């Protein structure tokens, strides 16, 4: 047998009384399912174990009603009635030889408690994290005793559920243990405040309590943010972060180290590269004798091996890469590196948690649908016929549809009017910071190139008459969309008056057009397009006026953990910013803006106009085809389906999902949009 350069990744690692079969470690990550949709959550985690992850952990698990994180949907261990949900996940994970880990958490003043209505807790009385008009109560000694008991109770329930690894969690600026550590939150004058040793006392006590309960039945992990990236105002890896590791060096069985806050830990590809946390966490293994796991959006096996060989990590932690490709470890083991669906770092996955809905992924359309629709990331039902399929359009939806259909065994032809496949991503992936998004196309293009049952024709624009004469039984229309330039969007329901003003579309700017300044960008979209174009034009020396109908720049990117960084970029560039206004008229270089609250109008002067408001589906071909529907039978056409942005313009993730769904739905007798299983938790309770 020839040795692989990646053999080191498949070595077992001892974690306290447990041994993981390899170094692939799915660290705790949220998924928007948790206690509300436990079957969906458990099946998703089980698929990862099947894909080769040696350890698969939960998301945050609320250990008590005083840490109620509603409206987010996470795990709970409030009482014994929660145990069956956990046992279900443990069973799914251990079935494939993986270890199951539980991240026990209490979020102190960062818990909303909107459901439980219990006053929040904090080391010292203070305002809560959210905008609710309430304050957290400063904890007395009895509260601290209670907190320790809640952790003990949760640990006992976790052992009953069968977990292999129990977490004590201080990994982000969200947890009560981190609040005790941080001097800005902890102004106590007793033995739990003041010196760093005192501020770390509660963590030590809870670690010791948890280890006593775990015994030889489970390992105990400590998740800790060694740096908060706040300078002297927070914990820094070269000072208090290091001291805490030294204080607790060999107490936990495993160190799971990262940086804080969540938006720094799960940094998008727009703002950071693979392995960006290494400079902050690489000291930990030099201090502790216990194994260390860390993250860094690792998708390259070579980068993973480098982390191990250079003594940075013992275990390769991953959240987002395990979402994009649950079978990443298995593909490395089998030498199928080119078949890895690499995470693009867009953080569409985090939006599920923040919006309280099941997780989704741009690269992996099956994520969150493993139980609900029975979708497996590597398996698909065989073709139900020998029919052949024409797909018009080679963008994200068309390529995903073609790949899934070809995996089913269908003969597929793609007709793309441009000289290359990629659709909207051919332009968007060239925007500053978005190069990794190209992976959506590169992965699918490579996989299709290996298929004998797929033909791709470039520079092939088709009309309805062409399609009617080709003889394909099924036609998928994936012709994309285009940005409107008439101002219609959320605020304007009808086209606005535009006269004697140079108007540009986002596509024109991305393709290289340079508007004359000042250019007024009207953002009524609130995602990444307007702000990315604003930065790009400003950096080319063009004066930009940024108008948004929201009170924040790119307000939707709060769900992708980018909003504060995007707004900082705009402010740091001194781009003129006008919030809570929308454009209602552009005439002779004068733009009339209207306040979203008062309706008051104001005039702003600019030479060019770049509206980023909404998109029109390119559905003319589909409509032409449907006008000939009476002739389909004579031409042998069984179905014509519109997919992706040409059906309904949305995110790239939505386009990929729709392409995948259309491919699975072909020859199905049910509507996969609406036909999916719903959770019935009473059946879980009956089983256990």
**Domain count within the chain:** 3
pLDDT of the residue at 593: 98
Tell which of 330, 355, 380 closes a domain: 355
For the question of residue 546 being annotated catalytic, the response is no
DSSP string, 20-72: ESSSEEE-----S-TTTSHHHHHHHHHHHHHTT-SEEEEEEEE-SGGG--TTS
Domain co-membership, 398 together with 317: no
pLDDT of residue 1: 47
In terms of domains, do 263 and 406 share one? Answer: no
CB atoms within 10 A of CB 601: 12
Beta bridge partners of 135: 127
**Residue 308, class by beta-carbon neighbours within 10 Å (0-12 exposed, 13-18 middle, 19+ buried)?**
middle
Which among 25, 29, 30, 474 is annotated as catalytic?
A: 30
Pair (220, 332) in one structural domain: yes
Indicate whether 136 belongs to any domain.
Answer: yes
pLDDT given for residue 544 in this prediction: 98
- Cα end-to-end span (Å), the chain: 45
* Sequence-distant (≥ 6) Cβ neighbours of residue 44 within 8 angstroms: 31, 33, 359, 367, 368, 370, 371
Average pLDDT for runs of 10 along the chain of length 688: 87 98 97 94 98 97 96 94 97 98 97 94 92 91 98 98 97 93 96 97 98 98 96 93 97 97 94 95 97 97 98 98 98 97 97 93 98 97 97 98 98 98 97 97 98 98 96 97 98 96 98 96 98 98 98 97 97 98 97 98 98 98 98 96 97 98 90 81 56
420 and 523 within one domain? no
For 52-147, strand residue ranges (E) read 55-62, 75-76, 99-105, 121-122, 126-127, 135-138
**Per-residue confidence (pLDDT) for residue 171, from 0 to 100:** 87
CATH assignment at residue 176: 3.20.20.70
Of 231, 285, 234, 230, residue with least CA distance to 257: 285
3-state secondary structure of 536: helix
Q: Are 311 and 416 part of one and the same domain?
A: no
CATH of the domain at 655: 3.40.50.720
Report yes or no: 441 and 397 within 8 Å, Cβ to Cβ. no
CA atoms within 13 A on the CB side of 489: 22
Q: Is the residue at 255 inside a domain?
A: yes
Looking at the structure, do residues 13 and 147 belong to the same domain, yes or no?
Answer: yes
How many CB atoms are closer than 10 A to CB 526?
Answer: 22
474 is catalytic: no
Report the length, in residues, of the chain: 688
236 occurs within a structural domain: yes
Tokens 């174009």 map to which residue? 533
**175 lies in some domain:** yes
- 443 given a catalytic annotation: no
Predicted pLDDT of residue 682:
56
Is 660 a catalytic site residue? Answer: no
Per the structure, the complete domain to which residue 520 belongs is given by 486-615
Return the closest-CA partner of residue 359 out of 14, 66, 44, 56. Answer: 44
Is residue 379 a part of any domain in this protein?
no
pLDDT at 574 (0 to 100) = 97
- Domain match, 43 and 192 both: yes
Domain boundary among 299, 334, 355: 355
Q: Dihedral angle at the C-alpha atoms of 630, 634, 635, 637, nearest 10 degrees? A: 60
Residue 405, SS3? helix
2 in a structural domain: no
Place of tokens 């003889």: 471
Say yes or no: 347 and 467 in one domain: no
The active-site residue, picked from 29, 64, 172, 179, is 172
Alpha-carbon dihedral sign for residues 562, 566, 572, 576: negative
Distance between CA 456 and CA 472 in Å, rounded?
Answer: 15
- For residue 106, give every residue at least 6 positions away whose Cβ sits within 8 Å of its Cβ, in sequence order, or none: 62, 63, 64, 66, 67, 121, 147, 150, 151, 175, 176, 177
Tokens found for residue 191: 């033995």
Separation CA 569–CA 563 (nearest Å): 10
Judge if 293 and 408 occupy the same domain.
Answer: no
The closest of 499, 496, 480 to 611, measured between CA atoms, is 496
DSSP 551: S
Listed residues 615, 630, 650: the one ending a domain = 615
Q: Which of 374, 461, 383 is nearest to 416 (CA)?
A: 461
Does 679 fall in a domain? no
At residue 619, φ and ψ (nearest 5 deg) are -110, 15
209 and 153 in a common domain? yes
The residue annotated as part of the active site, out of 25, 163, 169, 410, is: 169
Handedness of CA 142, 147, 148, 152 (dihedral sign): positive
Same domain, 528 and 610: yes
Catalytic residue among 164, 253, 263, 265: 265
Q: What is the CATH number of the domain that holds 516?
A: 3.50.50.60
Q: Quick one: pLDDT at residue 41?
A: 97
Name the one residue in this structure whose structure tokens are 């692989």.
Answer: 4
In order, the DSSP letters of 196-223 are HHHHTHHHHHHHHHHHHHHTTT-EEEEE
Answer yes or no: do 583 and 659 share one domain.
no
Specify if 681 maps to a domain: no
């Amino acid at each position: 047998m020839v040795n692989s350069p990646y053999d080191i990744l498949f070595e077992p690692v001892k974690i306290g009384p447990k041994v993981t079969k390899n170094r692939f470690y799915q660290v705790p990550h949220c998924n928007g399912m948790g206690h509300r949709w436990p079957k969906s959550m458990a099946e998703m985690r089980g698929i990862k174990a099947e894909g080769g992850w040696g350890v698969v952990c939960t998301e945050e698990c609320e250990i008590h009603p005083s840490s109620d994180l509603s409206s987010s949907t996470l795990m709970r261990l409030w009482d014994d009635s929660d145990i069956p949900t956990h046992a279900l996940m443990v069973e799914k994970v251990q079935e494939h030889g993986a270890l199951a880990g539980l991240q026990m958490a209490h979020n102190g003043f960062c818990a909303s408690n909107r459901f439980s209505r219990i006053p929040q807790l904090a080391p010292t009385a203070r305002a809560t994290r959210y905008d609710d008009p309430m304050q957290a109560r400063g904890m007395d000694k009895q509260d601290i005793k209670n907190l320790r008991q809640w952790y003990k109770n949760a640990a006992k329930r976790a052992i009953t559920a069968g977990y292999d690894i129990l977490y004590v969690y201080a990994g982000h600026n969200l947890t009560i243990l981190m609040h005790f550590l941080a001097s800005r939150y902890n102004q106590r004058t007793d033995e739990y405040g003041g010196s760093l040793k005192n501020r770390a006392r509660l963590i030590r006590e809870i670690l010791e309590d948890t280890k006593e309960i775990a015994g030889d039945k489970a390992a105990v992990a400590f998740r800790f943010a060694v740096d908060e990236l706040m300078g002297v105002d927070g914990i820094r890896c070269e000072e208090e972060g290091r001291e805490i590791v030294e204080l607790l060096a060999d107490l936990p069985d495993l160190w799971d180290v990262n940086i804080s806050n969540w938006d720094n830990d799960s940094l998008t590809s727009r703002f950071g590269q693979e392995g960006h946390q290494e400079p902050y966490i690489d000291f930990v293994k030099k201090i502790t004798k216990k194994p260390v796991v860390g993250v860094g959006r690792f998708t390259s096996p070579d980068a993973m091996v480098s982390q191990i060989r250079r003594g940075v990590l013992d275990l390769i932690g991953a959240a987002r890469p395990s979402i994009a490709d649950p079978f990443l470890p298995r593909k490395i083991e089998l030498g199928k590196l080119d078949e890895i669906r690499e995470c693009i770092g867009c953080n569409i996955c985090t939006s599920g948690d923040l919006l309280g809905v099941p997780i989704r992924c741009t690269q992996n359309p099956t994520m969150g649908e493993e139980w609900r629709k029975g979708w497996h990331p590597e398996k698909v039902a065989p073709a139900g016929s020998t029919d052949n399929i024409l797909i018009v359009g080679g963008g994200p939806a068309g390529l995903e549809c073609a790949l899934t259909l070809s995996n089913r065994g269908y003969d597929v032809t793609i007709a793309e009017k441009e000289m290359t496949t990629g659709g909207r991503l051919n332009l968007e992936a060239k925007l500053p910071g978005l190069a990794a998004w190209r992976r959506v196309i590169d992965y699918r293009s490579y996989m299709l190139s290996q298929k004998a049952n797929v033909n791709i024709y470039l520079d092939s624009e088709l009309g309805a008459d062409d399609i009617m004469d080709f003889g394909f039984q099924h036609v998928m229309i994936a012709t994309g969309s285009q940005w409107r330039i008439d101002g219609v969007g959320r605020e304007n329901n009808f086209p606005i008056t535009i006269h004697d003003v140079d108007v540009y579309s986002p596509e024109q700017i991305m393709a290289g057009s340079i508007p004359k300044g000042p250019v007024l960008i009207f953002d009524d979209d609130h995602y990444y397009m307007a702000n990315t174009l604003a930065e790009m034009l400003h950096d080319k020396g063009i004066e930009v006026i940024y108008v948004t109908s929201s009170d924040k720049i790119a307000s939707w990117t709060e769900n992708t953990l980018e909003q504060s960084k995007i707004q900082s970029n705009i402010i740091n560039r001194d781009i003129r910013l006008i919030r809570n206004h929308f454009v209602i008229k552009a005439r002779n270089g004068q733009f009339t803006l209207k306040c979203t609250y008062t309706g008051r109008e104001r005039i702003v002067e600019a030479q060019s106009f770049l509206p980023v408001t909404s998109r029109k589906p390119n559905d003319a071909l589909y409509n032409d085809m449907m006008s000939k529907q009476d002739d389909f039978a004579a031409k042998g056409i069984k179905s014509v389906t519109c997919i992706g942005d040409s059906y309904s313009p949305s995110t790239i993730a939505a386009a990929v999902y729709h392409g995948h769904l259309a491919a699975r739905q072909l020859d199905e007798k049910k509507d996969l949009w609406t036909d999916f299983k719903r959770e019935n938790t009473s059946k879980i309770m009956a089983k256990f």
